[in-house]
Amino acid sequence: MKLMIRKDQLNDAIQQVSKASSARPAIPILGGIKFDVDHQGVTLTASDTDISIQSFIPVENGEFVVARIDKPGSVVLPAKFFVEIVKKLPSDELEIEVKDNHQTMIRSGSTDIQMIGLDPEEFPVLPTIEEKDTISVPGDLLKMMIRQTVFATSTSEQTPILTGTLWNLVEGQLKFVATDRHRLASRTANVETEADYRFSNVVIAGKTLNELSRLIPDDNSHVNIFVADNQVLFKIGHVLFYSRILDGTYPDTSKIIPQQFKTELVLNTKKLTDSIDRAYLMSREEKTNIVRLMTQEDGTIEVSSSSAELGRVTEQLEVKEMNGEPLRIAFNSKYVLDALKVIDSEFLFIGFNGAMSPIIFKPTDHSHSLHLILPYRTTG
């Protein structure tokens, strides 16, 4: 294997795939980036056991030559060092040459690097996914859907299935659900796909979705998604992102979402967020993050929290609409803030069924998002 390649393009591709290389690999090969060079271009691959990322650098990029291939071949180079050295090389291009025993020479300006490469035959083989049925989602929308749900996944490995987000596709509607048993976030969107294509119980780790999100560029490009038995493939331009599907059956959450409410509020999202944020600062001192919400006789609501050591915060808030019974309720303000921060609507609806029942938060601008939070069962 021997080639000349532009530093910037190689660096971009390395940054994309390196997220899938293990920082502390169980075996050295998993801490590497695989290079596959042919006359079309250079394919970089990195893989831990959960995710694999592949990026292709074509030899020509429309107007200019990106790489000149002298000899096709493959090698695996240790990712951590390689990722850092490439961006610091003195010249705009570099030469990579693999000699006997995977020994690799990298030359750039007056810098000579000799790297101990690893055998590409030992590198994990990527899953084969039949590219039959697909769904196509605008990158921006997919990032938004991830951001609006992933925070509600569980961080506890006790119930591994809850560390993921549940994906379902029915009648062209893609739905994400995440819950850690204390709160739930869901988001739906209509996506481009064959009318009869459907899947259910596809659960993808929250950590993986955050990595995926970072790979999606801020333009209008679409992401193509292919779902297989235990793997999902995301195609983002020249980048392929493979993720394992979590084992197990996701719990049925549809029954816990109330459809009717004893008390209903419509409020300004930003004003409520700011109020709860101030109350949160005080509640945080008590570790419990308990904030109380109380309807007032004058048609406003009071948000409050207190700490034995610090004192008390009391907020008076106007509401746009209030219907139903008077209410006193307590909740974990951190959970409520997490939900409020991703509600993309000037006003929001909150529905209650008394102090002991789940609270529902929904935007008023659209019906694609829903957040459920269990209240604290406090006395008094």
Q: Which residues lie near its own copies (CB under 8 A)?
A: 78, 81, 84-85, 88-90, 103-104, 110-116, 274-275, 277-278, 281-282, 285, 309-317
Calculate the alpha carbon distances from 121 to 25, 29, 34, 48, 75 in Å: 17, 10, 10, 16, 9
Nearer to its own copies, 311 or 326 (CB): 311
Q: How far is the CB of 312 from its own copies (least distance, A)?
A: 5
Please identify, using beta-carbon distances, which residue of 28 and 326 lies nearer to its own copies: 28
Per the structure block, which two tokens stand in for 3?
């080639």
Residue 78 CA to residue 123 CA, distance in Å, equals 12
Residue 21 C-beta: closest distance to its own copies, Å: 14
| Smallest gap from residue 215 Cβ to its own copies (A) | 25
DSSP secondary-structure letter at 14? H
**Residue 209 CB, nearest distance to its own copies (Å)?**
30
Q: Please state, in angstroms and rounded to a whole number, the distance separating the CA atoms of residues 131 and 118.
A: 31
User: How near is the Cβ of 78 to its own copies at its closest, in Å?
Assistant: 6
- Nearest Cα to 1, choosing from 33, 35, 47, 30? 35
Q: Smallest gap, in angstroms, from Cβ of residue 320 to its own copies?
A: 16
Backbone angles phi, psi at 150, to 5 degrees: -65, -30
> If DSSP states are collapsed to H, E and C, what string results for 58-105?
ECEECCEECEEEEECEEEEEEHHHHHHHHHCCCCCEEEEEECHHHEEE
Find the helix or strand (DSSP H, E) in which 173 lies.
strand 173-179
Nearer to its own copies, 207 or 341 (CB): 341
Strand partners, 323: 264
**Pick 141 or 281: Cβ nearer its own copies:** 281
The rounded distance, in Å, linking the Cα atoms of 207 and 104 is 33
Q: For its own copies, which is the closer residue by CB, 235 or 334? A: 334
* Minimum CB distance to its own copies, residue 259 (Å): 33
Task: Give the Å distances, CA to CA, from 278 to 48, 110, 248, 275.
Answer: 42, 57, 40, 5
Compute the distance between CA of residue 130 and CA of residue 232 in angstroms, rounded to an integer: 11
Closest distance of CB 281 from its own copies, Å? 5
Residue whose CB is less far from its own copies, 88 or 181: 88
* Helix pair angle (79-87, 7-18), 10° resolution: 150
Report the amino acid identity of residue 375.
Answer: P
Pairwise CA distance, residues 110 & 30, whole Å:
31
Considering the complex, state which of residue 28 and residue 58 has its C-beta at the smaller distance from its own copies. Answer: 28
State in angstroms the smallest separation of the CB of 111 from its own copies. Answer: 5
> Residue 132 or 270: which CB sits closer to its own copies?
270
> 67-71 and 2-6 as β-strands: parallel, antiparallel, unpaired?
antiparallel
The residue (of 173 and 314) whose beta carbon lies closer to its own copies is: 314
Nearer of residues 16 and 305 to its own copies, judged by Cβ: 305
User: Within 13 Å, how many C-alpha atoms sit on residue 272's CB side?
Assistant: 28
- CB of residue 130 vs its own copies: minimum separation in angstroms? 39
